[in-house]
């Protein structure tokens, strides 16, 4: 019976290279396993538990993922995005404390492309709603042009929109939806909207 070759030597013989390359391949497999587990379970904590690793260890394994962008995790969830597509979000939205029916008002919004793919020029939709804080609900009061955005780029717009003359007076939620015209092919459309933290008080025009 031929002598058994130690595993490290067998690997070195089969690969025809040094142990460093062998261990490097093993690390790449660990990165792939960690990446797929996070994509399936949706959080670092669940993935770490399933792989019997600590959260810092699994984060270290994914310090240089290829083919996708690893968005900074929150306490509950992370997002994995296709690095070849755009992903537009509204990072900030503000408006006046008060506006009058049938009159213009100024809004300020920041749109950011948080993925690796470029986004063409798009349109930002501005909405007001008396009953819902869901972005895009209610009445559209304006459209704001947004220029093309490369990976990680953002654009801050200051635009004038018009409050319809027939809306009832009262408190309204102000929201914005990026890529409202659907021009950009995005990895996700679920995160395109944003609602301003402060409500808008609409009064009768005098």
Predicted pLDDT of residue 7: 42
Predicted pLDDT of residue 81: 57
Predicted pLDDT of residue 61: 59
For the four alpha carbons of 65, 68, 69 and 70, in that order, the dihedral sign comes to negative
3-state SS class at 51: coil
Q: What share of the chain is helix, strand, coil (3-state, %, to 5)?
A: 20, 35, 45
3-state SS class at 117: coil
Distance CA 69, CA 82 (A): 7
**pLDDT, one tens digit for every residue, the chain (206 residues):** 444 434 433 333 333 433 333 333 456 677 777 778 877 776 777 888 888 887 776 666 565 444 444 455 444 455 555 567 899 999 999 999 999 999 999 999 999 998 888 999 999 999 999 999 999 999 999 999 999 999 999 999 999 999 999 999 999 999 999 999 999 998 778 899 999 999 999 999 87
Only one residue has tokens 């402060």, namely 198
Predicted pLDDT of residue 127: 98
**Three-state DSSP string of 121-154:** CEEEEEEEECCCCCCCCCEEEEEEEECCECCCCE
Residues 6+ apart with CB under 8 A from 142: 107, 125, 126, 159, 160, 161, 162
pTM score, two decimals?
Answer: 0.65
Predicted pLDDT of residue 59: 64
Structural domains of the chain, ranges and CATH numbers in brackets: 7-81 (1.10.10), 88-203 (2.60.40.10)
Q: Provide the strand spans (E) within 46-103.
A: 68-70, 80-82, 88-94, 98-100
């Amino acid at each position: 019976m031929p002598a058994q070759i130690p595993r490290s030597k067998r690997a070195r013989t089969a690969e025809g290279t040094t142990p460093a390359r062998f261990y490097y391949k093993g690390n790449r497999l660990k990165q792939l396993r960690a990446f797929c587990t996070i994509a399936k379970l949706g959080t670092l904590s669940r993935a770490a538990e399933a792989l019997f690793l600590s959260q810092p260890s699994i984060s270290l394994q994914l310090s240089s993922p290829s083919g996708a962008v690893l968005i900074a995790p929150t306490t509950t969830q992370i997002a994995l995005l296709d690095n070849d597509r755009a992903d537009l979000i509204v990072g900030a939205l503000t408006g006046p404390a008060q506006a009058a029916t049938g009159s213009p008002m100024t809004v300020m919004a920041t749109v950011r492309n948080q993925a690796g793919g470029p986004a063409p020029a798009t349109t930002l939709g501005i909405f007001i709603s008396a009953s819902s804080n869901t972005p895009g609900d209610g009445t559209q009061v304006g459209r704001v042009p947004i220029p093309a955005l490369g990976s990680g780029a953002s654009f801050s717009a200051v635009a004038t929109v018009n409050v319809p003359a027939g809306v009832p007076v009262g408190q309204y939620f102000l929201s914005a939806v990026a890529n409202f015209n659907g021009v950009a092919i995005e990895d996700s459309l679920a995160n395109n909207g944003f609602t301003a933290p402060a409500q808008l008080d609409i009064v009768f025009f005098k």
